Structure 1
Amino acid sequence: MKTWIPDTRNFAYLQWPQVDALPRESTLLVLPTAAIEQHGHHLPLATDTLINNLLLGKALEKLPADMHVYALPPVCYGKSNEHIGFSGTLSVSSTTFLAMVRDIGASIAAAGFKRLALYNTHGGNSSLVDVLARDLRAEFGLRTFSLFGSGGISFDGLSEQEKAYGFHAGEIETAFLLSATPELVDTSAYTVNYIAQVAKPELLKPENSAANFAWLTRDIAESGVMGDPRPATAENGARWVEAAATRIAEALMAMVRYENLYQP
């Protein structure tokens, strides 16, 4: 798997005495969570994992050299049952995902570390990551943080339709990989599908509203794409990568510096 994580920030590249020498209170360990799953006819199965690695790696490059922040090896397999039925999708159950990340958190706590960030770039994991952040805090006393996707950047130049419903293998993900791994993008194989239209608002929405309907990708898109990759460019991808990396770096620094606002 390609990596953009700097060697000096790669936790798995350290020897155990180096790990033992890290300051327990201020060191932040970042656990990437992503997926191996279909991404249409034009993007690779590893898209979510590659984007996680790309954005996190670029963000880590922006941190002060004396700040102790390290990327753990990624949890590449996620809850991807929305894509079951498409060849290449490798999904784990919610129970397995929760148990796996919980056990990693237990190991981190046993080593005396206090801060853990869960950095997720697969939508199917999002609700589980929120659950885990609270559970790891409650069970182990870890100062646990959650961080998602591109850090909340605005994606200047993206249409409102794509912002709302470009869920999967659309313009954003395609642009990211065109900028970083163009050899993995088949630009001759684009397809377009949307789960809903912003111009036709409905009471029931696919997610992030007061009333949602559950969906599977095969309900919507024979190709597996939910969005429109056709406008994607490497130039926009590079701009968005830079903006996202800057925002993610700011979030990581805030996590290192975070203290309880409430002191009992």
Structure 2
Amino acid sequence: MLPTGRSSSVAWATKTRREIRDTGTADGSVVVVPVGSVEQHGHHLPVATDTLLADAVSHLGAERVADDVPLLVTPPIWSGFSPHHTSLGGTMTLELEHLLALLEDVADTALENGFDGICFVNGHGGNASVIDNVVSTVGKSNPEVEVTGLTYFQLADSFIDEIRESDVGGMAHGGEFETSLMLHLHAEFVTMDDADAEYLDEPYERGTQDLLVGGALSIYREFEEYSASGAIGDPSLASAAKGEELFDRLGDELADVLRSVSEQAR
């Protein structure tokens, strides 16, 4: 899976085994693993939204440092941990322990090619705790490797107020943020006439209030308790122009992370 409309010079899937080994054995090499999900995103976005976006941001960030950092981006992990979405249909989810084991296997075998560092780039909030755990388990089993992970949309925290128009709650599941990115990257999969969503209304003050406004308290609910359509936020404020700016700036942020991982791994 590659970003729409262009090939990628850093795609693991397009390389030969010799090219992969040559990259992996270079000093400061990094392997990037996009991690997404296949889960409902309301009536206007495709179920692969999280996978498509994590994959695209991973490639963009990697391409921006490819002249300085030897690195490759693996094919995305397309299924995540999404049990809270299954009641609405369209969702495929792994068990928590199966996702952790899958990520560990992908990492361990990728690192056998000599890479000095690895970065998991997650695109689904429900995977965040698994990413934290796999950084620890892979790091423990590969003490010589720089093991890192992040959730890509959190990279927007420093600049999001310059772009967003929605109030807190408007950038959630299928809201202004994700819909804008999808309009920029994959407009052919977006049906704005069906963009039926509502603002996130979490009764716990210390719970998550927005995609970029977290809270100390974790809560489990079936997703339909938050939204009849399966989307939360304000997709009516989304635009391809916002998506282009978000994508560009997320690429810069991830590029900085990958450059730092490479430096630490040398």
TM-score (norm 1): 0.89
Q: For 1:32-64, what per-residue CA distance to the aligned partner results, in whole angstroms no more than 9, with x for missing partners?
A: 100111110000111111111222222223214
**1:210, 1:175 → 2: CA distance?**
27
Describe how 1:124-139 pairs up with structure 2 within 5 A: 124-139=126-141
Report the equivalent of 2:192: 187
Indicate yes or no: 2:153 matched with 1:152: no
Letter matched to residue 253 of structure 2: R
Q: Equivalent of 1:234, from 234, 240, 250?
A: 240
Task: Describe the SS at the equivalent of 1:188.
Answer: helix
Structure 2 CA distance, aligned partners of 1:144 and 1:182? 34
Q: 1:12 — aligned with what?
A: 13
More helix by share: 2
Q: Call closer, same or farther: CA 1:215–1:204 in 2, change over 3 Å.
A: farther
Look up the match of 2:258: 252
Equivalent pair of 1:121/1:148 in contact (CA under 8 Å): yes
Counterparts of residues 53-72 of structure 1 (less than 5 Å): 53-72=55-74
- Give the superposed CA RMSD: 2.2
- Measure, in 2, the Cα distance between the counterparts of 1:2 and 1:25: 26
What stretches of structure 2 of length at least 5 have no aligned partner?
none
Correspondence for 2:85: 83
More deviation, 127-136/184-193: 184-193
C-alpha contact 1:45 1:88 (8 A) present in aligned 2: yes
Kindly state the Cα deviation for residue 68 of structure 1 after the two structures are TM-superposed: 0.5
More deviation, 68-77/58-67? 58-67
Contact 1:6 1:61 in 2 (8 A): no
Q: Distance in 2 between matches of 1:214 and 1:130?
A: 19
Change (3 A) 1:211 1:77: closer
Give the residue type in structure 1 aligned to 2:197: V
Q: 1:46-57 counterparts in 2 under 5 A?
A: 46-57=48-59
Q: Which amino acid aligns with 2:118?
A: L
CA distance in 1, matches of 2:16, 2:265: 29
Q: Deviations over 1:208-251 (max 9, x none)?
A: 43334322211111110111100111111111111111111111
Maintained 8 Å contact 1:193/1:221: yes
1:138-165, Cα deviation, whole Å (9 max, x unpaired): 1222311112223234222314634x56
How has the CA–CA distance of structure 1 residues 28 and 3 changed in structure 2, closer, same or farther, with 3 Å as cutoff? same
Q: What is the CA–CA distance in structure 2 between the aligned matches of 1:202 and 1:19, rounded to whole Å?
A: 48
Identity %: 23
Residues 136/165 of structure 1: CA separation in 2 closer, same or farther (3 Å cut): farther
- Cα distance in 1 for partners of 2:71, 2:22 equals 14
- Structure 1 residue runs without a partner (length 5+): none
| Shift in Å, 1:118 | 0.4
Q: Is the 8 A contact 1:206 1:214 kept in 2?
A: no
Residue 70 (structure 1) shift? 0.7
Query: Secondary structure in 2 aligned to 1:258?
Result: helix
Q: Deviations over 1:119-156 (max 9, x none)?
A: 00111100100010011111222311112223234222
Which residue in 1 is equivalent to 2:3? 3
> 1:170 aligned to 2:175?
yes
Alpha-carbon distance between aligned partners in 1 of 2:2 and 2:261, rounded to the nearest angstrom: 27
What is the CA–CA distance in structure 2 between the aligned matches of 1:159 and 1:118, rounded to whole Å?
30
Query: Is 1:214 equivalent to 2:216 in the alignment?
Result: no
Question: How much has 1:66 moved relative to structure 2?
Answer: 4.2
